[in-house]
Structure 1
Amino acid sequence: MNTYGYILKKIRTNKSLSQKYVSSGCIDRTSLSKIETNTIVPSIHTLIGLISKLDVSLDEFEYIRNNYQLSNKQKLLSEFLSLVSNFDIKSINQIINKCNINLINTPDDVLIKEIRSICIASTYLAKNEYEMAQKNITAVWRRLERVEQYTLTEIKLVCNILFFFPHDVVLKFTPRLLLMIDRYIEFDKSLYALKVSLLINSALLVRKYTPNNSSSHLKEAISISKQINRYDLLAIAKFSLGYLSADTAMSKQAKKIFFAIDQEEIYYHLKKELEN
């Protein structure tokens, strides 16, 4: 990985910005020169001030510093959060294997251990072994339920394990999660897709207890899915709402979307789940 000074200088010169401009209001020009030549290492406060003058985010800076690549941990988190379905066992097992490899070098990494636990739980859930699924994420849940304000990563983790729990837990946490997502959504637009997934999952989990609430969530999920052009989520939401409201036309329309985007496997799993 490249040094902070090397990347600061690389971005600055690529943008044709002077040391005087970048250092202004942050540090003196001589100190910036020493940072760029790796004579001194900037503090985090100084680094944030300098990269803000370069109009890049800290995440982007680190991405450039890592030769335009995500770290292994970032790749793993990205793959985990990109799972379209909890029934995609092949992809889930691949993530479990990557977690095991990463944990050889960093055995105490909390995030990777929790991702692995959630994925293992998903394999049990796919086999309808609910008790084993819950057992595998108990430790994850106990940590997360003690957190008063979730960070983005924790919001995403909670959304991925909420469906393992009884309907009363889902009813309790869903409003709180939706509020937290809305708080962050301007910062991270990808949360729109996560919000849709949460609306769908919560609707299906509590459909027998609060059918009106489920229908409302699915209608909102359909609306947002259209706005963000997520046809996979649109198909899931429309098929679920069609099934719950006995709207065969909507269900058939959703089925066509599933087959058009080559997601027949998700369609059959969803159909089976709703019929049980």
Structure 2
Amino acid sequence: MKNGEAIYFIRKNKGYSQKYVAGDTMTQGAYSKFEKLNSEIRHSALMNILNKLEVSPDEFMYIKQGYEHSIKDKMLNKLFTLTYNNTEVLQQPLSEAEIYLEENDDILIKDLCLVCKSLIVLSQTKDIVAARVSLYKVWQRLSQRDLLFINDIYFVNFILYLFPLETALEIKKFVYRSIDKYKNFRNIERLKVNMAINMTLLLIKEDRYIEALIEVEEAIALCKRFSDYKRLAVCYLRKGICLNNLKVTKGDQWISKGKNILIAIDELKILNELEDEVNRFNKIL
């Protein structure tokens, strides 16, 4: 649908008159022409109309596209909602992105391709040095900014665990400053869950279990706040690893709790990946 057509659809379904929606923004005649002929109007006028219709710009775009996300948004969502590194799942947004780029010049989707390729390399080879090659191209561009925007934050958050620990700790501070700017926007603090989880793994790899425990406790609190059970399970397993390596006897209880959550919500692929993680890092059994 075009803008005018979509606005007409929303207005009619809400039962509002043209006069009411047009308000002080434009004459009723100009508004009627906009709806019927899809004529162009100022962006500020469109925003005023959406406000009168009680519809956000995001919801408007979703309705306008036939109650679907755009192709670009679908690709980004597939990547950003990936809970654990999975070659098969990563291949789909990568293939879609490569097709999309044949007809569109899009920096963000180019970054998506680089990130997917890096994560596939890591999944297939376990070679983190090789996986970083493409990621540095993404980070080189983003690091030039004084402030990260929403998609930037998602990208950095998604690849944080591939950086060396001290670099990742500095990147985390940078990202948190940007997240704080968006603190009242779309539950953006959910991203702090992934960030804390990623930092936990990096710290575990360096045997810095007390610091890892602090990170994972922060993540657990956020997971409970947002009812994010998949990530809560990851947190519990990593908490158990930390406690066991610190020679605290309750570690295995937390590992069992994490596994049980994943079994209960039928996330067996994630469970298999995490069991491998437990075998590698759970040194004190």
Q: Does the pair score TM above 0.5?
A: yes
1:265 paired residue among 264, 272, 275: 272
Shift of 1:209: 6.6
Percentage identity across paired residues of the two chains: 28
What is the distance in 2 between the residues matched to 1:3 and 1:37? Answer: 10
Query: In the superposition, relative to structure 1, how do residues 209 and 271 fare at CA in structure 2: closer, same or farther (>3 Å)?
Result: closer
Give unmatched runs, 5+ long, in structure 2.
245-250
Question: Is 1:255 the counterpart of 2:259 in the alignment?
Answer: yes
What is the distance in 1 between the residues matched to 2:219 and 2:39? Answer: 51
Report the equivalent of 2:42.
43
Question: Is 1:194 the counterpart of 2:201 in the alignment?
Answer: no
What is the distance in 1 between the residues matched to 2:281 and 2:158? Answer: 19
Shift of 1:62: 1.2
Q: Quick one: which amino acid aligns to residue 268 of structure 1?
A: E
Q: Quick one: which amino acid aligns to residue 210 of structure 2?
A: N
CA deviation profile, 1:97-135 (whole Å, cap 9, x unmatched):
1111212221x2111111111011001222221222111
Query: In the superposition, relative to structure 1, how do residues 158 and 39 fare at CA in structure 2: closer, same or farther (>3 Å)?
Result: closer
Q: Quick one: which amino acid aligns to residue 205 of structure 1?
A: L
What is the distance in 2 between the residues matched to 1:212 and 1:65? Answer: 50
Report the equivalent of 2:214.
216
Compute the TM-score of the two structures, normalised by the length of structure 1: 0.92
Report the equivalent of 1:168.
166
Task: Kindly report structure 1 stretches of 4+ aligned residues shifted beyond 6 Å.
Answer: none
Report the equivalent of 2:23.
24
Shift of 1:192: 4.1
Equivalent residues in 2 for 1:79-94, closer than 5 Å: 79-86=78-85, 88-94=86-92
Assess if the C-alpha contact under 8 Å between 1:79 and 1:95 holds in 2.
yes
Assess if the C-alpha contact under 8 Å between 1:193 and 1:230 holds in 2.
no
1:228 paired residue among 222, 226, 229: 226
Report the equivalent of 1:274.
281
Q: Quick one: which amino acid aligns to residue 125 of structure 1?
A: L
Question: Is 1:78 the counterpart of 2:85 in the alignment?
Answer: no
Assess if the C-alpha contact under 8 Å between 1:103 and 1:112 holds in 2.
yes
Shift of 1:170: 0.8
Equivalent residue of 1:42, what SS? Answer: coil
Give RMSD over aligned pairs. Answer: 1.8
Assess if the C-alpha contact under 8 Å between 1:34 and 1:40 holds in 2.
yes
What is the distance in 2 between the residues matched to 1:52 and 1:140? Answer: 36
Report the equivalent of 2:120.
123
Compute the TM-score of the two structures, normalised by the length of structure 2: 0.89
CA deviation profile, 1:54-78 (whole Å, cap 9, x unmatched):
1101111111111111111111111
